[in-house]
């Protein structure tokens, strides 16, 4: 349908096939024939694309997502509901891959039904996590038979085998436990070594990588911390590449924390370029022969000249005294995390941005890069002075560096600035003091500081204002301050480090400092897939509507159990209209009103001044909350089913959310505990879990796995799912 040598889809494809005499006559009459053939060519290309898609739908690897269900029915597989992830969630592509993988492997899995290997394969396909199935019968210590001396013979643990001792209690242990006749899947007293049991282990945490980032100086004696903020952080294994069909066989196949003993015994497996840990001195990697593994808990380990000491359990390293590198130290390492929200090296969906903008790249290495964010801003201002049409700019940071410089960004009306991290990168911005400027990260819009601004007479023109976007950025040490008038402020996949991150470094540090300060109005702020500390709103109230503060798939951390995550100045309410969707708020919130709170958790009371409008649904709010009308909220629904006071107290304690960790920096930060009440684990409007990690769909993955394991488990076998991380 298209001319040879021409690209299909051109508007004049069919028109150019006509003889020249007809095209000449058509040109004289105003091109009516060309207009007709352009419309026909467009429909022809659409039909050709549809025919091509029909061919792709014959195969599970290339078919459309809606066709996967039909393939599943053909092979007799029940997939369960698809994960209805949000657009910004990283699980959109992952869920589609897992569902296709289950269908593609369905026939092969049934041929291996009854084997332990297929159980591990099912677990990996259904959850997307590394999985290992362990058959306990062959591991148990049993009494030998005199008649059959070779049956059941298991050696005792060798106390000289340090690797075996390190693996005790882990899924990779080969030690011989004593038999335990209690069922593994018992919800009351689960056993540990049922002779007829199989345990499926899952590793839920991921290894988050940091590449060639500067180590934090811990003193003047050549001591450093791997973490750029100076915190103690256990280092983790960066798993080796393996096929999905292979079950983890060693500790190098799964994301686990590295111990001093294992690293000392097998240094070549953990250290070096391309390994889990690498130290760069003056731009070059330190040779493996110079690395020592030591306990640096009190920074007292003596490091001889010509060597470097590393403590993987604390994330510390030390050079010989008075021999610290002159050009600083860079480190590459991995640490455990959920790899879902906040700034990180995980895959982030590209934002839908139809506005063309020039990109100014920032980095410490490479030609044509600006060395600082300030230099990139200055280059944009110079380009804007020469060409006033360049009102949009993107500043992209292309490394995992720490940028300590003054940050004061002034934006005029109609300007748009995007400050983002390159894919797979996690830069940290730390404001510092310069000249007469305080150490603050300040973004200033028009109208800021104008006399009388904030009164009804000086209300700015609606619909106009600059747009400021942060994407994949960490801001530490000082809050992000927004001043003046903005059209929109967006934070996505960012981390505004909460104050709780500094407790281990300075226990006397004040924990009430905010991470985000809003002084401008109107200043609609949207936060997505981010971690944010306290939010303080100091905007004017008279003559203005409340600021629209929209938060989705994020954590707001007050850093204190009884602290306020969202509040105004001087202890007053925040002049905001709050919207929360799939958010975990570690603290209380005092706001003017709540437009919509859905699928969220607040550990402290939510107090709204305006309760006539708005909605709160499918969320957890503790007693003392004053909100608009609630629908399907906890613990309200659970308490409505009991009437005795003692039972109500027990029910309220049972339904209260529990977390694996609430301190920022912990691997399972703000993740719901595995034994949390079903009202919380399946309490969302779509039966997902409440809170920031709703779109990881952990409960749905495990439920899907349990239903599939029942089909493939041999009769008489007790099977249980357990989590290694």
Average per-residue pLDDT for the chain = 84
> Is residue 130 situated within a structural domain?
yes
Which string of DSSP letters, residue by residue, matches 564-632? EEEEEGGG--EEEEEEEEEEEEESEEEEEEEEEEES-EESS-EEEEE-SS-EEES-B--TT-B-S-EES
pTM of the model: 0.85
* Pair 199, 210 in one domain: no
Q: Is the pLDDT of residue 450 over 90?
A: no
* 188 and 219 both lie in a single domain: no
Q: Are residues 31 and 98 in the same domain?
A: no
Q: Which pLDDT band, with edges at 50, 70 and 90, does 9 fall under?
A: very low
**Most trustworthy range by pLDDT among 17-31, 230-244, 368-382:** 368-382
Residue 81's pLDDT band, with cuts at 50, 70 and 90, is low
pLDDT above 50: residue 1: no
Task: Report pLDDT for 460.
Answer: 45
Please check the confidence at residue 660 and state whether its pLDDT lies above 90. yes
Q: Which residue has the higher pLDDT, 284 or 244?
A: 284
- Which of the four pLDDT bands, split at 50, 70 and 90, describes residue 97? low
By the 10 Å C-beta count (0-12 exposed, 13-18 middle, 19+ buried), 443 is classed as buried
Give the pLDDT mean for 603-621.
Answer: 94
252-282 confidence digits (pLDDT tens): 888 999 999 999 989 999 999 989 999 999 8
pLDDT at 486: 93
Task: Check pLDDT > 90 for residue 218.
Answer: no
Q: Are residues 200 and 210 in the same domain?
A: no
For the chain, the domain total comes to 4
Is 176 contained in some domain?
yes
Q: Answer yes or no: is 645 within a domain.
A: no
- Based on the domain organization, do 127 and 219 belong to the same domain? no
**Interval 113-118 mean pLDDT:** 80
| 152 pLDDT tier (thresholds 50, 70, 90) | low
Q: At residue 455, does pLDDT exceed 80?
A: no
Confidence of residue 379 (pLDDT cuts 50, 70, 90): very high
pLDDT band, very low/low/confident/very high, at 17 (cuts 50, 70, 90): confident
The pLDDT of residue 135: 84
pLDDT for 8 equals: 42
* 550 and 417 share one domain: yes
Residue 660 lies in a domain: no
The verdict on 86 and 37 lying in the same domain is no
User: What pLDDT was estimated at residue 555?
Assistant: 96
Structural contact between residues 303 and 323, judged by C-beta atoms closer than 8 angstroms: no
* pLDDT score, position 91: 47
Residue at 478 is within a domain: yes
Is the pLDDT confidence value at 141 over 90? no
The two tokens of residue 714 are 């041999």
Residue 650 lies in a domain: no
CA atoms of 324 and 566, how far apart (whole Å): 43
**How far is it, in rounded angstroms, from Cα 666 to Cα 233?**
8
Are residues 303 and 405 located together in one domain of the fold? Answer: no
Q: Do 484 and 571 belong together in one domain?
A: yes
DSSP E strand stretches across 39-99 = none
* Band of residue 102 on the pLDDT scale cut at 50, 70, 90: confident
pLDDT at 459: 45
What pLDDT shows up at residue 452? 37
**Rounded percentage of the chain residues whose pLDDT exceeds 70:** 88
Pick the last residue of a domain from 638, 663, 693.
638
- How would you class 259 by CB atoms within 10 Å of its CB: exposed for 0-12, middle for 13-18, buried for 19 or more? middle
Q: Is 655 helix (H, G, I), strand (E, B) or coil?
A: helix
pLDDT-derived band at 678, boundaries 50, 70, 90: very high
Kindly state the average pLDDT of the residues 134-156.
Answer: 68
pLDDT of residue 25: 87
CA distance 421 to 373: 12
Same domain, 294 and 366: no
> What is the pLDDT confidence band of residue 150, given thresholds at 50, 70 and 90?
low
Alpha carbon distances (Å) from 304 to 219, 225, 288: 18, 19, 15
User: For the segment 481-497, what is each residue's pLDDT rounded down to a tens digit?
Assistant: 999 899 999 999 999 99
Q: Is residue 687 part of a domain?
A: no
What's the token pair of residue 678? 């079903």
- Does the pLDDT at position 4 exceed 50? no
Q: Shortest CA distance to 325 belongs to which of 214, 211, 210?
A: 214
pLDDT of residue 253: 87
pLDDT digits (tens, 9 = 90+) for 697-709: 888 888 888 888 8
pLDDT above 80 (res 598): yes
Question: Is 631 in the same domain as 513?
Answer: yes
Say which residues have a Cβ less than 8 Å from residue 253's Cβ, sequence separation at least 6.
130, 239, 240, 242, 246
Q: What is the DSSP string of 329-340?
A: EEEEEEEEE--S
Average pLDDT over residues 327-346: 88
Residue 423 included in any domain: yes
Asked whether residue 27 falls in the same domain as residue 110, the answer is no
Higher pLDDT, 331 or 719: 331
Domain ranges, residue 32 = 1-56
3-state secondary structure of 46: helix
pLDDT bin (cut points 50, 70, 90) of residue 244 is low
Pairing label, strands 308-311, 316-318: antiparallel
pLDDT tens, position by position, 194-211: 888 888 999 999 999 999
């Amino acid at each position: 349908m298209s001319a040879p040598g021409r690209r299909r889809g051109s508007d004049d494809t069919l028109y150019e096939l006509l003889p020249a005499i007809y095209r000449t006559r058509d040109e004289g009459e105003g091109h009516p024939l060309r207009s007709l053939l352009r419309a026909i060519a467009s429909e022809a290309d659409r039909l050709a694309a549809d025919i091509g898609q029909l061919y792709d739908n014959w195969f599970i690897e290339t078919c459309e997502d809606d066709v996967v269900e039909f393939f599943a029915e053909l092979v007799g597989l029940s997939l369960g509901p698809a994960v209805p992830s949000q657009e910004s969630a990283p699980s959109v592509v992952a869920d589609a891959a897992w569902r296709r993988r289950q269908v593609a492997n369905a026939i092969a899995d049934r041929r291996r039904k009854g084997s332990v290997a297929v159980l591990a394969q099912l677990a990996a396909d259904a959850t997307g996590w590394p999985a290992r199935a362990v058959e306990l019968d062959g591991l148990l210590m049993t009494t030998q038979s005199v008649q059959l001396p070779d049956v059941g013979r298991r050696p005792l643990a060798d106390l000289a085998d340090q690797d075996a001792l390190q693996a005790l209690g882990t899924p990779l242990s080969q030690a011989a436990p004593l038999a335990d006749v209690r069922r593994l899947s018992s919800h009351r007293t689960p056993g540990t070594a049922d002779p007829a049991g199989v345990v499926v282990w899952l590793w839920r945490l991921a290894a988050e990588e940091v590449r060639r980032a500067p180590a934090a100086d811990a003193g003047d004696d050549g001591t450093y911390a791997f973490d750029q903020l100076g915190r103690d952080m256990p280092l983790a294994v960066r798993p080796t590449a393996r096929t999905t069909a292979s079950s983890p066989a060693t500790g190098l196949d799964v994301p686990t924390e590295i111990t001093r003993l294992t690293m000392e015994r097998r240094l070549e497996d953990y250290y070096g370029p391309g390994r889990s840990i690498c130290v760069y001195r003056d731009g070059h990697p330190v040779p493996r022969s110079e690395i020592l593994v030591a306990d640096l808990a009190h920074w007292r380990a003596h490091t001889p000249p010509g060597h470097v000491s590393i403590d993987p359990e604390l994330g510390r390293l030390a050079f010989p005294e008075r021999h610290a590198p002159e050009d600083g130290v860079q480190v590459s390492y991995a640490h455990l995390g959920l790899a879902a929200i906040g700034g990180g090296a995980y895959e982030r969906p590209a934002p839908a941005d139809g506005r063309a903008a020039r990109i100014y790249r920032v980095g410490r290495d490479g030609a044509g890069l600006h060395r600082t964010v300030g230099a990139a801003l200055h280059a944009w201002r110079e380009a804007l002075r020469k060409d006033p049409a360049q009102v949009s700019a993107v500043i992209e940071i292309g490394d995992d560096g720490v940028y300590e410089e003054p940050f004061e960004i002034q934006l005029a009306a109609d300007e748009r600035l995007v400050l983002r991290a390159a894919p797979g990168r996690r830069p940290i911005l730390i404001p510092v003091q310069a000249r007469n400027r305080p150490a603050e990260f300040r973004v200033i819009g028009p109208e800021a500081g104008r006399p009388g601004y904030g009164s009804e007479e000086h209300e700015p023109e609606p619909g106009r204002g600059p747009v400021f976007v942060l994407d994949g950025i960490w801001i530490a040490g000082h809050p992000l301050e927004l001043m003046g008038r903005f059209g929109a402020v967006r934070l996505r996949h960012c981390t505004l480090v909460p104050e709780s991150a500094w407790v281990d470094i300075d226990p006397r540090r004040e924990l009430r400092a905010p991470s985000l300060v809003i002084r401008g109005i109107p200043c609609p702020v949207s936060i997505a897939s981010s971690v944010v500390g306290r939010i303080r709103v100091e905007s004017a109230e008279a003559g203005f509507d409340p600021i629209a503060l929209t938060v989705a798939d994020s954590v707001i951390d007050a850093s204190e159990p009884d602290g306020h995550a969202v509040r105004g100045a001087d202890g007053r309410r925040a002049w905001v209209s709050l919207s929360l969707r799939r958010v975990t708020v570690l603290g209380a919130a005092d706001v003017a009103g709540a437009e919509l709170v859905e699928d969220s958790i607040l550990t402290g009371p939510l107090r709204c001044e305006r309760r006539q409008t708005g909605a709160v649904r499918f969320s957890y709010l503790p007693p003392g909350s004053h909100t608009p009308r609630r629908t399907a909220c906890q613990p309200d629904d659970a308490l409505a089913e009991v009437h005795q006071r003692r039972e109500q107290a027990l029910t309220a304690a049972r339904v209260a959310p529990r977390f694996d960790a609430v301190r920022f920096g912990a691997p399972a930060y703000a993740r719901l505990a595995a034994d949390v009440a079903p009202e919380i684990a399946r309490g969302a409007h779509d039966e997902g879990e409440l809170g920031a990690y709703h779109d990881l769909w952990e409960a749905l993955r495990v439920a899907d796995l349990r239903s599939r394991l029942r089909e493939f488990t041999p009769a008489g076998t007790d099977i249980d799912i357990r989590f290694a991380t």
